[in-house]
Structure 1
Amino acid sequence: MTEPVATPAPRAPLLTPFTYHIFRAIWIAGLVSNVGTWMQNVAGVWLVTTLTTSALLVALMQAATSLPAFLLSMPAGALADLVDRRRLLLFTQGFMAVVATGLGALAFSGGISALGVLGFTFLLGMGAALNSPIWQTVTTELVARSALPQAITLNGVSNNIARAIGPAIGGAIIAYYSAGWVFLLNGVSFLGTWAVVYFWKREALVTDGPAENFMGALRAGIRYVQYSPAIYGVLVRTFAFAFGTAAMWGLVSVVIARKLHLSSGHYGVMLSWLGAGAVTGAVLMGRAGGRLNFNQRVLLGVLAFAGTNLALALVSQIYVLYAVMFLSGIAWLMVMTSFSTTVQLSVPRWVQARVISIYMLVFQAGMSVGSLVWGELADRTTLTISLLAAAGWMLASALLAFPFPMRPAEGLDLAPAEHWPDPATDGTIDPDDGPVIVMIAYHVAPADWPAFGIAAGQLRRLRLRDGALRAGVFSDVANPTLITEFFYVATWGEHQRQHHRFTREDQAVEAQVRRFHLGPAAPRVTHLLAFPNTPNVEMATPLQTLESQR
């Protein structure tokens, strides 16, 4: 009798997250705010285009938006994992409302300059940099994990609906009134989001183990990414994609104004076609289901944007470019949702905002550096050469799909395993006492040493990822079958946090190591604390401490 073949669970419909009323309310508020943001983008870029003849200054508008994320994303991610996210959202939305309103007032006064617009755009970018990691992480609190890919896609739809209608509305307001009205309306849109977040009754999260400090939280986020190959691969692909697509975002207004000699209305319509393509892409992805994995989606999107840059460089018919931008919108949503979903599904909740902030930092760094490079190249050579070079970059970056493939993350179980027993201690240990060395003794048959070494190497990576400063495996010279794994942690409190960071997915790696252990008893675990106990030692070395005491 054969076992029945398990069928995969059906994929949740695209609109499933809307059944969660909190997600629905925040999504609508975010849509309104996104419309205001895209109106602001069009007004700001077009105003700079009319105030200066430098293509570099126009391209710097993208850098003014992206650079703050490079500076503030990681601190914002650490804050989002340490303090109440609702209060942070209230602060960031209020700050951006004040800045947008101030820019509008200055524009009405007639005293605005290209550098002034860049300065206010930089301040708005600071608010967005602080807001974005929190906003993305909040999604994981609003819907079930099974609906998270659809929720992330709908967030992309929100931004791209706004991209489809926001630029057109902004362009029309600029044409019939002035850019000042666009800036004021953007300020009002932030106030609407502020009100929805204010009435959100967020449940307080209970955290186990000692609280992290700010700098320790930053280091933990960087360390987690460093020892997570799946996340590291996404970041490499993200930077390459952002660097190449920055040519389109930074220079499309120059193509419209200088190459095609058209008005701001055409620029707004151009971005609207891109947004409409992204919305269409969400619908197509929902119907296509699992026919394309994330790796294939990103590869197709990269190739599509190589064509986009080629078209902007060589095509002079505006209606052809509208069609190109529509297809680019589909590619944009495919790539960005693939990146974002992979990151959010691949990390546990305790470090989620920090990893997302690093992902956003890498993306914005690619956009900032790309804007500078392609804008400077356009000033030094020609607009066409700059766009052709960007197309060549996109084609070359497609090869990254081989060394850095996107790994599936939907089935990962990242809930805390909570299977490590608390060590027996003689008295109370202060969380700041340390360093701590943990040793785990295994008895392994010589024939199993090669396989044990491979499995122990995977476990070593997890130890380093979750807080260990050093880790390794040693054998006893007098009894080679006795193999000891050790890892070294800065403080007792950090080791306690390790207990709660180890996930059920990690438990399978640990089980692979322990299956080589011989004997009826479990591997012996020993905890060693620095003697005498030394508070607040972050990077001390036990051997150096002992030498100094001789």
Structure 2
Amino acid sequence: MPDDSAAASSSAFAPLRNPIFRVVWIGNAVAGLGTWLQNTGAGWLMTDLAPEPAMVAAVQAATTLPIFLLALPAGALADIIDRRLFLIVSLAVQGAAALALAALTLAGLTGAWTLLLFTFLIGAGNAMTMPAWAAVTPELVRREEVPQAVALHGMAFNGSRAIGPAIGGVVLATVGAWACFAANAVSYLPLIGAFASWKPEAGNAPSRERFLSAIKAGLRYVGSTPGFQRLMLRTALLFAFASAPWAFLPLIVREKLLRGPETFGLLLGAMGAGAVLGGLAMPRLRKLLPPDRLVALGGVLASAAILALGLGAHPLIAAAGMFTFGIVWITTIATLQVAAQLSLPAWVRARALSLYQMAFFGSLTGGTLLWGWAGEVWGIVPAMTAAAVGGVAAAGLGLRVRLPTPDPSAALPAGPALAVPLPQASHPAAPERGPVVVTIRYLVPKEKTRSFLTLMEEVARCRRRDGAFAWRILEDMQADGAWLEMFGLERWGDYPRHAARITAAEATLLARVASLHQGDGPPETHLYLAPTEWRG
């Protein structure tokens, strides 16, 4: 008899049964509609203010550059303060910036650089929102529903893309760009209300880390996690070339197709429709193709869509290219983001996802500026052709950069039962004192030394992932087979956090190391603390 629960979880709309996710999802759809009105208005307005390819491309760059610059600080804040409040404030900042731009545009005071400035400010608000937004998704639904929850958020955003640009084109033609910006300002209100009504579970309370320490801990985690690094590289490879349509679409409509804002909106709408179809197909696609091949196929199809957009001389060809591009956009982004979210423990999720977003938006921003420059030098058609060829090459290269396989035990805490318990203090200390040094002494038979040292290479990554700023393995030259593991933490307050961060997968690794110890008792452990406060 089939498992009804499993069948329900595989449904494209299963997460919407959760009331809070449903409310947030609706708010996301409305905010997405406003975003596409904003983007349509800004892109088209720039073709009036400064119609050079570089300036039009700069609108997209001004949207994505803040995410590259602010994602890591935003991720750290989202991990150490109340994510719900953080999201509400960030969304309110975006709404205020959009409202100010609408007022300036209505008064006729918006020039090219003013438009870029406010586009950057709205992008900055978005940059502050994104890590927290990505991090809360696994808190709103069950783990098995996370892939489709991510796809549903993409469908909401891209469903808004299907109608938002078309509405934006009509608004541009009948009222003006200021009305697009004003609509965007109002669109944030439902999502702010949705998060205001959400009551996070007590177990998801923020940590008490300091801001700079939280940033360094996030960097150490990603720097010690090769699978996550491969994910970031794969993302950057794909979207460096897939950024080309964003650089040229307004100019393709105006100069190549000789059409107006309505056609611009309809082409963006075609992409949104493709994205909705891609989101609906995600459950089936995940069954048919492993993530690595799905992303590689997406790169090839994106290149074909870029070529159609660059070479096609009719709006229907361009619409077919954008429709295909939309399918690829949602399926690849959802696949990559799910691989990221499901491989991360809760304590570092926003910080690590912020680095993933830096790879994504850094690639998107750099690619947009690069293709804008290429369009100035070579022309739009040669630049789009180069992007398509490069995209195919990147897809092939990407297959050699394997995506991480999500492991539930890698994100779950180990609990108190460790094979070698960390040493406990006999008396309290001020949280700011440090550094802390922990030593563990192993006795390993000579024939097992190679296996021991191989395992300790992975232990080093585990310690750094969980907050250690230094790690060493030392051979005791006065006792055969004796090895000393030593690692350091910046502050005494970091020590209990380090212990709590050890995951079930890491506990299994530490148990394998402990099984090689051949002493009369368990490995000997010691705990040391510097007598002054940490000043580093």
Common fold: TM-score over 0.5: yes
Question: Contact between 2:169 and 2:261, CA under 8 Å: does it hold in 1?
Answer: yes
AA matched with 1:188: V
Of 73, 76, 82 in structure 1, the residue corresponding to residue 74 of structure 2 is 76
Identical-residue share of aligned pairs (%)? 34
Aligned equivalent of 1:544: none
1:478 maps onto 2:478 in alignment: yes
Query: What is the correspondence of 1:203-214 to structure 2 with a 5 Å cutoff?
Result: 203-205=201-203, 211-214=208-211
Query: What is the correspondence of 1:146-545 to structure 2 with a 5 Å cutoff?
Result: 146-205=144-203, 211-409=208-406, 411-419=408-416, 420=418, 421=421, 423-530=423-530, 533-538=531-536
Distance 1:331 1:166 in 2: 19
Structure 1 position 416, deviation (Å): 1.5
Aligned equivalent of 1:142: 140
Deviations along 1:293-340, one digit per CA (max 9) or x if unpaired, are 211111111111221222222221221221121111111111100111
Structure 1 position 192, deviation (Å): 2.3
Distance 2:183 2:204 in 1: 39
AA matched with 1:102: A
Structure 1 position 434, deviation (Å): 2.1
Distance 1:278 1:424 in 2: 53
Distance 2:400 2:515 in 1: 31
Question: Contact between 1:230 and 1:406, CA under 8 Å: does it hold in 2?
Answer: yes
Distance 2:512 2:426 in 1: 32
Distance 2:203 2:306 in 1: 46
Distance 1:131 1:520 in 2: 54
Structure 1 position 455, deviation (Å): 1.0
Distance 1:425 1:175 in 2: 71
Distance 1:151 1:407 in 2: 20
Deviations along 1:4-57, one digit per CA (max 9) or x if unpaired, are xxxx96653221211110000010011001011011101110111122231100
Which secondary structure does the structure 2 equivalent of 1:346 belong to?
A: coil
Structure 1 position 206, deviation (Å): 6.2
Task: Count how many residue pairs are aligned between Structure 1 and Structure 2.
Answer: 529
Between stretches 95-104 and 328-337, larger displacement belongs to: 95-104
Distance 2:452 2:42 in 1: 59
Aligned equivalent of 1:131: 129
Tell me the C-alpha RMSD between the 2 structures.
2.0
Which secondary structure does the structure 1 equivalent of 2:228 belong to?
A: helix
Distance 1:207 1:53 in 2: 49
Between stretches 432-441 and 294-303, larger displacement belongs to: 432-441
Aligned equivalent of 1:39: 37
Distance 1:184 1:444 in 2: 69
Of 52, 63, 67 in structure 1, the residue corresponding to residue 61 of structure 2 is 63
Distance 1:403 1:166 in 2: 38
Distance 1:468 1:87 in 2: 30
Deviations along 1:160-208, one digit per CA (max 9) or x if unpaired, are 1011111111111112222221111111111222222223333444669
AA matched with 1:100: A
Gaps in structure 1 of 5+ consecutive residues:
1-7, 539-550
Between stretches 8-17 and 461-470, larger displacement belongs to: 8-17
Question: Contact between 1:242 and 1:370, CA under 8 Å: does it hold in 2?
Answer: yes
Question: Contact between 2:424 and 2:527, CA under 8 Å: does it hold in 1?
Answer: no
Which secondary structure does the structure 2 equivalent of 1:242 belong to?
A: helix
Which secondary structure does the structure 2 equivalent of 1:483 belong to?
A: strand
Distance 1:454 1:505 in 2: 17
Aligned equivalent of 1:120: 118
